[in-house]
Amino acid sequence: MKLLIVESPSKAKTISKYLAGNGERYEVVASVGHIRDLPKSNKKAIDIEHDFAPHYEISKGKEKVVHEIEQLAKKADEVLLATDPDREGEAIAWHVAQAAHLKKPQRVVFHEITKDAVAEALLHPRSIDMRLKEAQEARRVLDRLVGYDLSGLIWKKVRYGLSAGRVQSPALRILMEREREIRAFVPETFWVISAETKTADKKPLPLVCSEEPRDKKEVERILALGQKNPWQITDIKETEVKRAPRAPFTTSTLQQTASSRLGFSPSRTMLVAQKLYEAGLITYMRTDSTTLSGQAIGQISGLVRKEYGEKYLEVRQYHTKSKNAQEAHEAIRPTSVARASAGHTDEQKRLYQLIWQRAVASQMADAKTLRTRVTANITSAEKIPDFTVNGSRILFDGWLRVDPSAQQDDVILPKVAAGDALTLVDMHTDEKQTQPPARYSEAGLVKELEARGIGRPSTYASIIKTLLDRGYVEKVDRALKPTDTGDVVSTFLENNFGHYVSDSFTAEMENELDEIASGEKEYVPVLSAFYKPFTKEIQKKSKSSKKITDLGPAPAQFKCPTCGAAMIIKLGKNGKFLSCSRFPDCTGALTLEGKEIATDKPIGTDPSSNFPIFVKIGRFGPYVQLGEMPKKVKGQKAAKPKMASIPKTKDPSTVTVEDALKYLSLPRTLGIDPDTGKEVVASSGRFGPYIVRDGDFRSLKTDDVYTIGLERALQILREPKKPRGFARKKK
């Protein structure tokens, strides 16, 4: 019996089918990803004094997997490790061998899970590549050292619970640099001038001024001359343009295209691609290579020739610039190009179609387009800027035949010649303002990280997910916008550790990790050269850097409504908030998304109690308050007024008295449980709305906390309670 070890159960299931009935008995088992990792405590994780030796522990819940592999290995005549064909896969194979005490295991590698590829790989086993394993280990140790030391300093100098990372922080810096450009942007007014004209045979020809004047007087001059003078065609240019197909997908380009065309986040794209790979439908999806194998090119060429004809075929081989691309030496492509559609879910089918189209199009002829530019002007001696219109017509669709979504509609212009007269129908202007640079989308950030050499194909999705999960950025209209917390953390790192979050340093570290993988550099010297100066810098900043929870004084117009003292901008759990410089419990006014909330003036009065109602900004976000805050009297403790949080989805500047009374209605007593005699209450807390009976708390996922009744609450309470940690594990 031969034991074949892979990472995922679905991969194991697919390979088992291929190996059944081939004359040899194979037992295929899954490690279910990594089976060992560094412990949470950095003191136990890495022995810095002894050559940065990592101390690994079997991951919680993986003891049974390790034991099963160990027992099966004892019965096996041969043990084969068939984990993914990259550094991560090589490291998993090594960890399995170490944890299960495997004797002389062999490593097999395939880049697609097909019967032929698996059979071919089994004919060429090798030993574990320790260079690839050490490159992955160096990345893991390096990330832990940077994250642990920088995060610890941020806890001391900014706020507990924040974090930094070797690659995450440079990515955040890129987003913040763009955000600062947006803040500093000063818009300018300009005008777009259009002219509606007709040709001699009465066909419409819309024209647009080639210049966009900033001066209103120039706009008026152009309009005046254009309306009182005759028009004519002054020039016609026709240009044949070729559009070459793009290279087959790499990890980066797949994430970018899936984002723009399908609306998938990078992490979603990789999850769906993983399923397609494990089902044997596509080649390995973590690669920065654009190369196709000779066999794949032959398959695609045959399909193009058969389905579209010889004129559509143009065989191409794309060359990869990255020196690290040999680790996964082929682009992402279908394992069988004969399958134009594949996948079990709608998401899988859509992503597969994208991969199929790109791979097939890469071996097709250029598309040819005829672009026409018509220029017109007045016949007066006093000239105005040219007015133009562009048209286009596809002469030969080429690769666009299989990728029609990349095709632009034809814009056919009426036939005209230079010197032809035009009749002016109307002229009009559109006043506009220049726009600041756009924020990065997820796809845009992936492209930027790749261009700057920050991270690698396998890390792009996790970088963005980490920034979102930690609350350093948020999605606004599909763009990544840094939060107040992200702003403070990035500014702190740029001011104190600018070298370590720079493009040059981060990209150079990636290159050194690549050189460990290729054998050009060694693990210990690379880590030593980095860590010694880095830890000195940490110690230096730890002593000299002041705590920056206080971000400075608020604008002068913001005064404490209670004592009139100046306000201070602070960093809280949910971002920036204002605090009285004399009494921390006081709050003033805060600008939220450009809307000023005057917290010292009531929005109305509670009709029941006649108490004023205020909208205020606290440490944990906006809230409503019923009644005035009592003045502090030494030696006396006064009851605070009732308060209630404003939902995150509600703009605080639009809260009405009716809204406030609704929020203040919590907690609501729904009634008595007839079975237990205990009171049932609905309320909202730190983790959202909930109901509770005698200490039994249940979160409300779909029910409205303000309208839920006793009968529905009892129904929820009778349902079996999910064990602690269920939601986290599910995620």
Q: Mind telling me the catalytic residues? A: 284
**Which one-letter amino acid corresponds to residue 424?**
L
Contact 599, 616 (CB under 8 A): yes
What value does the CA radius of gyration of the chain take, rounded to a whole number of Å? 33
Phi, psi at residue 308, to the nearest 5°? -125, -15
Give yes or no for a contact between 156 and 542, defined as CB atoms under 8 angstroms apart.
Answer: yes
* Residue 311: DSSP 8-state: G
CA 585 to chain centre: 37
Transcribe 525-576 into DSSP letters. HHHHHHHHHHHHHHHHHHHHPPP-SEEEEPPTT-B-TTT--BEEEEEETTEE
Given a contact cutoff of 8 angstroms between Cβ atoms, the answer to whether 398 and 367 are in contact is yes
DSSP 590: E
Burial class (CB in 10 A: 0-12, 13-18, 19+), 218: middle
Tracing tokens 């082929």 back to the chain, one arrives at: 330
Provide the pairing of β-strand 668-672 with 78-81: unpaired
List, as one string, the DSSP characters of 219-288: HHHHHHHHHHS-EEEEEEEEEEEEEPPPPPB-HHHHHHHIIIII---HHHHHHHHHHHHHTTSBB-S---
Q: Please give the distance of CA 370 from its chain centroid, rounded to a whole number.
A: 38
Rounded-to-10 torsion of CA 527, 530, 532, 533: 180
> What is d(CA 623, CA 614) in angstroms, rounded to the nearest whole number?
8
How far apart are alpha carbons 318 and 65 in whole angstroms?
Answer: 42
Cβ atoms 411, 400 nearer than 8 A = no
Strand order in the sheet with 567-572: 550-553, 567-572, 575-580
Residues for the chain: how many in total? Answer: 731
Q: Are 599 and 580 in contact (CB under 8 A)?
A: no
Task: Name, in order, each residue with C-beta under 8 angstroms of 272's C-beta and a sequence gap of 6 or more.
Answer: 264, 345, 347, 348, 351
CB 308 within 8 A of CB 364: yes
* Relative orientation angle of helices 9-19 and 115-122, to the nearest 10 degrees: 80
